[in-house]
């Protein structure tokens, strides 16, 4: 009797399916928990853990492990983190805002996971537009997508005490600043020479869009 041995492609599909199920379950549980006032504080405190879990899933399926990738990853983290540092302490780039305690440990008043968030968003949107031939047009599309997602995310972030704006008004400068910083990171993404396809990027990005869109209706915003 011949034993059936799955091909590598079938194993990959199986891993992708498991990852997608995990992504859906994590975000569905988070959506329910954050939407119920009694459980909201506990799920708010789990936000950094969910971001780090998302990072792990992305890196697990990442294919372009060469010297260029960690350079991009470090650039995305530190440019994003540095821009938030400037924003918090000067009011430039984004406007006047402060971070709450929800996002975990801070360095100079900025949560460390914010750098992770910039990396994740630039990675996901960059991967989605990876086949656009022109670097500047692709960076424009990626930065536009990140800014659009920030527009959806902002009311949720304020309601969940991720951060708070002066006068409780989200300024236009926030979205302008987001676009500029995102465009810069996307240009680095485009110039960095590593494999940019990731089988779960589009799925994860769509999940985030749905997650924050639904929270706009389930939270008291």
Per-residue pLDDT of the chain (221 residues; tens, 9 = 90+): 444 444 454 555 688 999 999 999 999 999 999 999 999 999 999 999 999 999 999 999 999 899 999 999 999 999 999 999 999 999 888 989 999 999 999 999 999 999 999 999 999 999 999 999 999 999 999 999 999 999 999 999 999 999 999 888 899 999 999 999 999 999 999 999 999 999 999 999 999 999 999 999 998 76
| Parallel/antiparallel/unpaired status of strands 97-99 and 163-165 | antiparallel
Taking the whole predicted model, whether its pTM rises above 0.85 is answered as yes
Q: Which is nearest to 172 in space by CA: 154, 157, 146?
A: 154
Q: Alpha-carbon distance 158 to 44, whole Å?
A: 12
């Amino acid at each position: 009797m011949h034993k059936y041995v799955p091909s590598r492609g079938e194993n990959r599909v199986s891993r992708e399916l498991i990852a997608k199920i995990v992504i859906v379950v994590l975000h569905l549980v988070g959506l329910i928990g954050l939407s119920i006032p009694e459980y909201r504080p506990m799920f708010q405190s789990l936000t950094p853990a969910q971001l780090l879990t998302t990072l792990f899933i992305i890196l697990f399926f990442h294919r372009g492990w060469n010297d260029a990738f960690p350079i991009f990853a470090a650039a995305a983290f530190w440019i994003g983190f540095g821009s938030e540092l400037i924003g918090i302490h000067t009011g430039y780039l984004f406007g006047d805002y402060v971070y709450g305690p929800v996002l975990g440990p801070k360095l100079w008043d900025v949560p460390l996971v914010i750098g992770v968030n910039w990396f994740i968003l630039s990675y996901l949107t960059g991967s989605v537009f990876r086949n656009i031939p022109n670097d500047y047009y692709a960076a424009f599309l990626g930065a536009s997508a990140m800014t659009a997602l920030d527009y959806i995310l902002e009311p949720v972030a304020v309601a969940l005490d991720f951060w708070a704006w002066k006068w409780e008004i989200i300024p236009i400068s926030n979205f302008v600043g987001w676009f500029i910083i995102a465009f810069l990171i996307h240009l680095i993404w485009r110039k960095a020479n590593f494999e940019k396809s990731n089988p779960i990027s589009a799925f994860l990005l769509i999940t985030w869009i749905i997650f924050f869109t639904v929270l706009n209706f389930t939270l008291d915003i």
